[in-house]
Amino acid sequence: MTAPTTTYAFVTVDVFTTERFAGNPLAVILDASGMSDECMQAIAAEFGYSESTFVLPPRDPAHTAEVRIFTPVTEVPFAGHPNVGTAFVLANMPEVFGKAPGDRLVFEEKAGLVEVEVQRKDGRAVSASIVAPKPLSIGSTVDTALLARCASLTGADIETARHAPVFVSVGLKFIVAEVASLEALGRAKPELGALAEAVERYAHENCDCALFLYTRQGGNHLRARMFAPFDNVPEDPATGSASAALGAYLATLAGEPDLEMDFRIEQGVEMKRRSEIGIRVSKKDGVATRVAISGASVEILRGTLHA
C-alpha cells in the first residue's frame, strides 16, 4: 500500500539574470511546514540544482520567514543565489505567512539573519539585494602548486602578485584564486585527486575546498568560475556567496581604510548560462563591515510536488 503524501507548491526561477534559461536555476518550496530534513534533502537531490530552498514560518514573527538551503547532498548555512531568488519569489506573492511582503524582508538562516531589499518595476519585484550574514573571515593560504593541480592548471596560470590562493567566507567558505588570463580560466576544470589532497591537507578549515577562480576584465569587472564537485556541483553558473567573500577580501586588500567598492562579476559563461552578480562592499577602518549581493531573477515554472 502506498504511503500517504502531502502536496507542496514550488516555483523555479533563474537567478542573476534577466533572461530565461540563463543564470543559476533555483527551486523554492513555498511552505515546507511539517517536512522532515530527510525529505528536504531528497527533494533537493531530485531537482538537482546547485541549491533548493525550503520556506518555513519564521520563529520570530517580526521576520519574514525561515529559509533552509540544501544542495543535492547537504544543507548549507548560507548562499547567495538562493537568497536572491527566494526573495524575488516571496516578494511577488500576495502574502507570506499571513503578511503582505514589503520591499524589506528578513530571513532566518543557519548562518544568521539575512536582510533583503527588493527592487520593483511596475509593482512587481524584479531583483533583490541581500546583506551577507557574517563578516569576512580569512583562513589559510593555499599552496599555489596544489591549487593549480586542483584546477587542472599550471603554476604559471595562477596570479599571485595581489594575493595567494586563500580560504575566505562571509557565511560559506571557498578557496579564491586569481588566474592570469581569460584563456586560463576557460581551461580550468576540477581534478578530484588533487582536491581530495587539498581537503586532507587543510582539514582544519572544515571545507570541501570549493574553488572560486577569477580573472580581471578591467577595473572591478571580474569573470569567474566555481567548482564544488564534492558537493555534487561540478560547476556553478552563479555563486553569490563566493562573489561576496571575494569582493570583501579584495576591498580589504585595497589601501584605503574607508571606502565603498562595487564589483560586477560575470559567471557561467562557459556553461552557456551567463550570470551577472553585483557586489557592494563597505569598508571602515580597514574592515569590510557590510557586503551586499544583488541580482535580477526570472520565473520559469510553478507546480506541486508530493512528498
Mean pLDDT along residues 107-126: 96
175-225 tens-digit pLDDT: 999 999 999 999 999 999 999 999 999 999 999 999 999 999 999 999 999
pLDDT value of position 232: 86
In a domain, 162, yes or no: yes
Question: Do 28 and 148 belong to one domain?
Answer: no
12-68 tens-digit pLDDT: 999 999 999 999 999 999 999 999 999 999 999 999 999 999 999 999 999 999 999
In a domain, 57, yes or no: yes
Banded model confidence at residue 2, pLDDT cuts 50, 70, 90: low
Of all residues in the chain, the percent with pLDDT exceeding 90 is 96
Separation in Å, CA 68 to CA 1, 36, 40? 32, 12, 9
> What is the number of domains present in the chain?
2
In a domain, 69, yes or no: yes
In a domain, 273, yes or no: yes
Q: Which is nearest to 290 in space by CA: 228, 234, 247, 229?
A: 247
Residue-by-residue DSSP string for the chain: -PPP--EEEEEEEEES-SSTT-SEEEEEES--TT--HHHHHHHHHHH-SS-EEEEE--SSTTSSEEEEEE-SS-EES--HHHHHHHHHHHHTSS-BTTB---SEEEEEETTEEEEEEEEEETTEEEEEEEE-SS--EEEEE--HHHHHHHTT--GGGEE-SS---EEEESSSEEEEEEES-HHHHHH----HHHHHHHHHHTGGG-----EEEEEE-STTEEEEEEEEGGGTEEEES--HHHHHHHHHHHHHHSS-SSEEEEEEEEE-GGGT--EEEEEEEEEETTEEEEEEEEEEEEEEEEEEEE-
* 8 A C-beta contact, residue 22 and residue 269: no
Question: Do 123 and 149 belong to one domain?
Answer: no
pLDDT value of position 4: 64
pLDDT value of position 277: 98
How many Å separate Cα 177 from the centre of its chain? Answer: 17
Question: Do 167 and 272 belong to one domain?
Answer: yes
What the block records as the C-alpha cell of 147 is 591549487
Q: What is the CATH number of the domain that holds 249?
A: 3.10.310.10
Question: Do 252 and 302 belong to one domain?
Answer: no
Mean pLDDT along residues 108-132: 96
Question: Do 120 and 145 belong to one domain?
Answer: no
Q: Which residues are designated catalytic?
A: 51
What the block records as the C-alpha cell of 293 is 549581493
Domain span at residue 170?
137-295
The alpha carbon dihedral of 162, 206, 292, 47 has a sign of: positive
Question: Do 114 and 154 belong to one domain?
Answer: no
pLDDT value of position 1: 45
Question: Do 288 and 141 belong to one domain?
Answer: yes
In a domain, 1, yes or no: no
In a domain, 49, yes or no: yes
In a domain, 2, yes or no: no
253-284 tens-digit pLDDT: 998 999 999 999 999 999 999 999 999 999 99
Question: Do 97 and 157 belong to one domain?
Answer: no
pLDDT value of position 255: 86
Banded model confidence at residue 95, pLDDT cuts 50, 70, 90: very high
- Cα separation, 35 vs 54, in Å, equals 9
Question: Do 52 and 12 belong to one domain?
Answer: yes
Rg (CA), the chain: 19
What is the rounded average pLDDT for all residues in the chain?
96
Question: Do 151 and 260 belong to one domain?
Answer: yes
Mean pLDDT along residues 120-139: 95
Helix axis angle, 240-253 relative to 80-91, nearest 10°?
A: 120
Higher pLDDT, 2 or 108: 108
Name 279's Cβ contacts closer than 8 Å, sequence gap at least 6.
243, 244, 246, 247, 262, 263, 264, 265, 291, 292, 293, 294
In a domain, 178, yes or no: yes
Read off the amino acid at residue 96: V
Question: Do 49 and 144 belong to one domain?
Answer: no
Question: Do 104 and 142 belong to one domain?
Answer: no
